[in-house]
Amino acid sequence: MSTASPYILYGVPHSLYTGKARCYLRNQGIEYVERPTSHPDFASRIVPLIGRGIIPVLETPDGEVIQDTIDIIDHFEQRGVQYPAYPEGPLQRAVAVIIEYYGGQAMLKQSMHYRWSYREQQEAFLHHAFASGSGADFADKVMGRMQSYLPRLGVTEQSIAHIERSYETLLDLLEDHFQHWPYLLGGRPCIADYGLIASMFAHLGRDPVPAQIMKTRAPRVYRWVERMTAPGLDVTEYAGCAAELVAGDRIPPSLEPVLRHIAADIFPELTDKLVFIDAWVDRVQPADGDPVTDKPQQRQLGLVKTHYHDAPVEVGVEPYLLYVLQRAVAPGLETGQVQQVVAKLGDYGLGKAVPLGGDYRVGRQNNIEVWQR
């Protein structure tokens, strides 16, 4: 996709969500220039337009400013791209969006644990990354703030063993899958790949400690990370593999164990978060168009007590999870079709990952999440 003026992506190499957007732009052949948050335009022009300091942000050649990876991807999907991100089949779409949620939201435990619990072993690497993005004067301050988020993500002494076991299990299951397919749902990337790459590139595929585990334990997974960050499709190992998703709205058998692992990882925490949000909305009764939180920089409504595997944790609840998961149901599906999809998801333990039946949604106005009633 060639434009007279390239798109501008504001982000940094070590950013989880910037990586998701960057992979999409590269896979689709979209010309862009990446600028760090230390670029003067970010503070002077971009932050006032989006109302908070957050990345990634895309500036289009005609001056439109788009924040959030979902909105950035949808901007191009609506205009037509070489490799559409959303599967046409309703089951594949639901599975892909759930994986997107897992990689970008639930896997913050693994991503942030390996980055900050092993900070001492990675100090030089991390300081270089944060100084390059934010400037040397702010690097330590930003790093300290990021490290302080661990408890609210459920990273505690009680949960760490489960988090590391989960990462290793995921690597083993994906290693088997990538023996058969270059991408999660077939011969080209979809929203599932872009969601999973968020954690698997910027944190787990770059930071020295988790990247070394990935390279030695699951070389095919590391190769997928390389593939996702390359321009266009990079599938030399898969001779004759067409750039298509698996036909017939089917799920590759090698992906099914991955889905069951995801279910074991996200529940009961996801259920408890959804119950918390329901209760909050019932109590507060936000009006249509109200911001989901009092301040744009505030992402969480509060804390909920739950469990991560056998470990008790108390985690923050972000309404943004609805913005991700409510897209699992393809537009225009009839009730019977939705029920069929949910029933099939139940075979993998993921039936309750699709929020249905509520009288509210989370949308976005002017790059800020709002309630829709």
pLDDT bucket at 214, cuts 50 / 70 / 90: very high
- Do residues 38 and 10 make contact, with C-beta atoms less than 8 angstroms apart? no
Q: Give the pLDDT of residue 138.
A: 81
SS3 315: strand
**pLDDT above 80 for 195:** yes
Q: What percentage of the chain has pLDDT greater than the value 90?
A: 93
H helical segments located in the chain: 16-28, 40-41, 47-50, 69-77, 90-101, 108-112, 119-134, 136-147, 150-153, 160-177, 191-202, 208-217, 219-229, 256-266, 269-284, 320-325, 335-346
- Do residues 16 and 111 make contact, with C-beta atoms less than 8 angstroms apart? yes
Q: Give the pLDDT of residue 139.
A: 86
Where is pLDDT greater, at 301 or 131?
Answer: 301
Q: Give the pLDDT of residue 5.
A: 72
- d(CA 220, CA 172) in angstroms, rounded, equals 10
pLDDT bucket at 4, cuts 50 / 70 / 90: low
Which residue, among 38, 54, 90, 134, has the nearest Cα to 367 in the 3D structure?
54
Q: Which residues of 96-134 are buried (b: 16+ CB within 10 A; e: fewer)?
A: bbbbbbbbbbbbbbbbbbbbbbebeebeebbeebbbebb
Complete domains list, the chain, with CATH:
7-77 (3.40.30.10), 90-266 (1.20.1050.10), 270-372 (no CATH)
Q: Give the pLDDT of residue 108.
A: 98
Q: Is the pTM of this model over 0.85?
A: yes
Q: Give the pLDDT of residue 132.
A: 83
SS3 245: strand
Q: Give the pLDDT of residue 112.
A: 98
pLDDT per residue over 89-123, tens digit each? 999 999 999 999 999 999 999 999 999 999 999 99
Q: How many other CB atoms are there within 10 angstroms of residue 145's CB atom?
A: 10
Q: Give the pLDDT of residue 314.
A: 98
| Cα–Cα distance list, 156 to 107, 110, 262, 316, 353 (Å) | 15, 12, 20, 14, 25
**pLDDT above 80 for 296:** yes
**pLDDT above 70 for 234:** yes
Q: Give the pLDDT of residue 164.
A: 98
pLDDT per residue over 339-349, tens digit each? 999 999 999 99
Q: What percentage of the chain has pLDDT greater than the value 70?
A: 99
**pLDDT above 90 for 140:** no
| Cα–Cα distance list, 373 to 315, 360, 365 (Å) | 26, 5, 14
Instruction: Tell me the mean pLDDT in the region 188-205.
Output: 98
**pLDDT above 90 for 270:** yes
Q: What angle, 0 to 180 degrees and rounded to 10, lies between the N-to-C axes of helices 90-101 and 191-202?
A: 20
Q: Give the pLDDT of residue 86.
A: 98
- d(CA 211, CA 118) in angstroms, rounded, equals 12
pLDDT bucket at 358, cuts 50 / 70 / 90: confident
pLDDT per residue over 298-320, tens digit each? 999 999 999 999 999 999 999 99
Instruction: Tell me the mean pLDDT in the region 284-291.
Output: 97
